[in-house]
Amino acid sequence: MAALLFLHAHPDDECILTGATLAKASTAGVRTIVVYGTRGDAGETSADLGTETLGERRVREAEAACADLGVARVEWLDYADSGMAGTETTKNPEAFSNARPATVAAELVNLLADEDVLAVIGYDANGTYGHPDHKQVHAVAHAVAALIGAGWVLDATYNREHLALLPDADGSLDRQFAAGEAELTHFVQGEPWFERKLDALMHHQSQVPDDWDQDNPDREGFRARFGTEWFITEAVVDGAELGLLSELLEPKSAWQSPTVA
């Protein structure tokens, strides 16, 4: 059975960047696999972890989120979270971002030898916002696609111009952030998947900001920013057909910006 392989850097990235896509694919009967590079152990938290490490807690949170999204298989690579660019943890030789992409790709080939992977979903070249582990996901996704027999690589990203037009945008959006509309090729419409995406995200309780009102979350703000999921889709072999992907992805030409009348 053809499968989609989602590579993610940390727990919660699966929801934020691809939650609607995972829900849509699994609902359509497409097998989905999520592989995490790290357990997110360098993240910050104000949660009471009890006897757990942050990484252990985040594994449980991610597995609950993936179950909600209908993910068929979840795997964990054994790398450490690199933390944000410029921090001490990026120097850890065990950090995900310090592995050679070819080494990680070879690990994935072994791990997924019994899978028929149709497409690999990673992130854009800047990892949307420059996090070293996210940039590594981009490198690994592009390194592994041909080795694993996938026809397509999808860079999950955001639509920078759309974000800049939102009512609460304050003009501070980094010009390197994610992707501009000219680079984007496809999207997954947030509706009707948004509620499942947000519910799945709520499993990541260790990452919920203290100022987030759990009983009254800013659903509309989150929907406007992260509801629709954007991709830069690239064929591994010239002339490849989208096949099954054409049932999941809409071409950018079908995008109607809700902020432009």
How near is the Cβ of 75 to Zn ion at its closest, in Å?
Answer: 17
C-alpha distances out from residue 143 to 31, 37, 49, 122, 243, Å: 22, 14, 36, 11, 22
What does the CA dihedral 104, 85, 184, 257 come to, rounded to 10 degrees?
140
Identity of the residue, 55 or 151, whose beta carbon is nearer to Zn ion in the bound complex = 55
Instruction: Single out the segment in contact with Zn ion by CB under 5 A; choices: 8-16, 83-91, 99-107, 251-259.
Output: 8-16
Residue 121 engages Zn ion in binding (rule: CB under 5 A): no
Residue 9 engages Zn ion in binding (rule: CB under 5 A): yes
How near is the Cβ of 28 to Zn ion at its closest, in Å?
Answer: 26
Identity of the residue, 9 or 150, whose beta carbon is nearer to Zn ion in the bound complex = 9
Q: How far apart are CA 174 and CA 115, in angstroms?
A: 38
Identity of the residue, 12 or 115, whose beta carbon is nearer to Zn ion in the bound complex = 12
Instruction: Single out the segment in contact with Zn ion by CB under 5 A; choices: 9-17, 50-58, 91-99, 116-124.
Output: 9-17
How near is the Cβ of 134 to Zn ion at its closest, in Å?
Answer: 6
Residue 81 engages Zn ion in binding (rule: CB under 5 A): no
Identity of the residue, 31 or 197, whose beta carbon is nearer to Zn ion in the bound complex = 197
Burial class of residue 46 (count of CB atoms within 10 Å of its CB; 0-12, 13-18, 19+)? exposed
Q: How far apart are CA 203 and CA 192, in angstroms?
A: 20
% helix / strand / coil in the chain, to the nearest 5?
35, 20, 45
Identity of the residue, 142 or 204, whose beta carbon is nearer to Zn ion in the bound complex = 204
How near is the Cβ of 250 to Zn ion at its closest, in Å?
Answer: 25
Residue nearest to Zn ion (CB): 10
Q: How far apart are CA 211 and CA 216, in angstroms?
A: 11
How near is the Cβ of 130 to Zn ion at its closest, in Å?
Answer: 11
Q: How far apart are CA 208 and CA 44, in angstroms?
A: 10
Residue 10 engages Zn ion in binding (rule: CB under 5 A): yes
Packed helices 194-201 and 13-27: angle between N→C axes, nearest 10 degrees: 140
Omega within 30 of 0 (cis) for the link into 192: yes
> In the chain, how long is the greatest CA-to-CA distance?
53
How near is the Cβ of 53 to Zn ion at its closest, in Å?
Answer: 18
How near is the Cβ of 87 to Zn ion at its closest, in Å?
Answer: 14
User: What is the contact mask toward Zn ion in residues 11 to 50, using x (rule: CB under 5 A)?
Assistant: --x-------------------------------------
Identity of the residue, 18 or 32, whose beta carbon is nearer to Zn ion in the bound complex = 18
Structure tokens at 85: 């660019």
Which residues are near Zn ion by CB under 5 A?
9-10, 13
